[in-house]
């Protein structure tokens, strides 16, 4: 494992994102590469967001408003909370960093349920906290009972990713509320809701839990449903006092003017978002059935990706697909050697994936 600059975090390895599409294209001499590896939204942002960002470019010489007030006002209105209950950052990953910077002291224990998003472990190690991973149930659902069993008086944070990356599973609302009630007062639950817009309406979300005063910090992003992964905007929702220490460690101008303009405009285009959602859900169903008829195991997902057991060596399959110009995300980092996470693409991309898989078979 590669050593980073602080001795105390010698076990920390840098996060390696999916290979840049340009590199794959050049290395393999491919004209076109389909990227189903990073849960981006293949439909892109709303046209209104694009034009707002183009306008904002003209004001690039001005520093942005540091608290992203306009965006927080819009979010407060949308979710029935106050502006002070939102903190905007440079992507949800930045919010995770701010939570770690603000809350994790050396020796603090941080619990999360594997397989899940790797940033929770990374920030814990970076802050000299103690990662306390537990493991999902056999159906890959987050195991709340397993989490409760490892809570101690040194537990600082519990990260719950809902819907979970990479499995797409969702924790039942009743179970989550019962779980909150069993936690000692010193514990904060960080509910990562990066994919919440894809979750069925029947579930309660971080917004409801915060209104009910459960000890929750929710994390959201404009990278998925809103199609702005390259613009980098994410936010935290919580009781105002819980955001203060995060505000204190946040760089003043972390979120740029162009990104803020894009995020504000996307919130104003509900119609576009609804279209993205129905197309993604329709395509998810089609891709899931297609994968199942090829004999693969597919977990029910409420996100914009599928967790697939390809029942074969995933590194090998990944390479074969890459040579056909399709990138998926192998789950080998979680020691799941036959699984991959596959982002729902456009109809054309999903068809190409199914065709490629049937040829490899």
* Chain position carrying tokens 């697939």: 308
Residue from 109, 192, 197, 283 binding ligand PMP (CB under 6 A): 192
How far is residue 131's CA from residue 134's CA, in Å, rounded to a whole number?
10
As a 3-state breakdown, the chain gives helix, strand, coil percent values, each rounded to 5, of 40, 15, 40
Q: How far is the CB of 136 from ligand PMP (least distance, A)?
A: 14
Structure tokens at 201: 């309406």
Which is nearer to ligand PMP, 92 or 298 (by Cβ)?
Answer: 92
| Sign of the Cα pseudo-torsion (218, 222, 226, 229, in order) | negative
Q: How far is the CB of 168 from ligand PMP (least distance, A)?
A: 11
Helix (H) or strand (E) holding 143: none
Which residue stretch of 2-10, 23-31, 221-229, 351-359 sits at the interface with ligand PMP (rule: CB under 6 A)? 221-229
**Binding pattern for the stretch 12-41 against ligand PMP, x by CB under 6 A and - elsewhere:** ---------------------------x--
Torsion of CA 204, 207, 213, 217, to 10 degrees: 110
> Using CB atoms within 10 A of its CB, is residue 122 exposed (0-12), middle (13-18) or buried (19+)?
buried
Q: Angle, nearest 10°, between helix axes 257-267 and 47-57?
A: 150
Which is nearer to ligand PMP, 85 or 97 (by Cβ)?
Answer: 97
Residue nearest ligand PMP by beta-carbon distance: 91
Binding status of residue 226 toward ligand PMP by CB under 6 A: no
Binding status of residue 234 toward ligand PMP by CB under 6 A: yes
Helix (H) or strand (E) holding 216: strand 216-221
Report the site for ligand PMP in 53-112 (rule: CB under 6 A): 91-93
Which is nearer to ligand PMP, 34 or 231 (by Cβ)?
Answer: 231
Residue from 136, 165, 301, 349 binding ligand PMP (CB under 6 A): 165
Judged by the rule CB under 6 A, the positions of this chain that interact with ligand PMP are 39, 91-93, 117, 161, 165, 192, 194, 221, 223, 229, 234
């Amino acid at each position: 494992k590669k050593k980073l600059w602080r001795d105390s975090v010698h076990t920390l390895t840098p996060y390696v994102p999916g290979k840049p599409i340009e590199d794959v294209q050049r290395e393999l001499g491919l004209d076109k590469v389909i990227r189903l590896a990073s849960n981006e939204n293949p439909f892109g942002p709303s046209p209104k967001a694009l034009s707002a960002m183009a306008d904002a470019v003209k004001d690039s010489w001005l520093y942005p408003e540091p608290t992203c007030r306009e965006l927080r006002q819009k979010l407060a209105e949308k979710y029935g909370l106050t502006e002070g209950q939102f903190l905007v950052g440079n992507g949800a990953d930045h919010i995770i960093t701010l939570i770690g910077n603000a809350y994790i002291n050396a020796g603090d224990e941080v619990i999360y349920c594997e397989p899940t998003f790797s940033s929770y472990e990374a920030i814990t190690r970076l802050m000299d906290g103690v990662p306390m991973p537990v493991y999902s149930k056999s159906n890959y659902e987050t195991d709340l009972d397993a989490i409760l069993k490892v809570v101690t008086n040194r537990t600082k944070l519990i990260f719950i990713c809902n819907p979970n990356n990479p499995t797409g599973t969702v924790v039942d609302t009743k179970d989550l509320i019962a779980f909150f009630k069993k936690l000692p007062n010193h514990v904060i639950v960080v509910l990562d809701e990066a994919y919440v817009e894809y979750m069925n309406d029947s579930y309660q979300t971080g917004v409801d839990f915060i209104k009910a005063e459960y000890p929750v910090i929710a994390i959201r992003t404009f990278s998925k449903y809103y199609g702005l992964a390259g613009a980098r905007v994410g936010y935290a929702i919580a009781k105002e006092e819980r955001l203060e220490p995060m505000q204190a460690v946040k760089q003043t101008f972390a979120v740029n003017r162009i990104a803020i303009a894009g995020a504000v405009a996307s919130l104003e285009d509900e119609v576009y978002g609804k279209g993205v959602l129905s197309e993604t859900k329709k395509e998810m169903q089609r891709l899931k059935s297609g994968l199942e008829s090829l004999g693969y195991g597919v977990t029910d997902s409420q996100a914009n990706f599928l967790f697939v057991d390809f029942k074969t060596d995933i590194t090998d399959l990944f390479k074969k697909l890459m040579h056909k110009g399709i990138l998926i995300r192998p789950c080998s980092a979680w020691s799941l050697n036959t699984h991959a996470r596959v982002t729902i693409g456009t109809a054309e991309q999903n068809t190409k994936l199914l065709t490629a898989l049937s040829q490899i078979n």
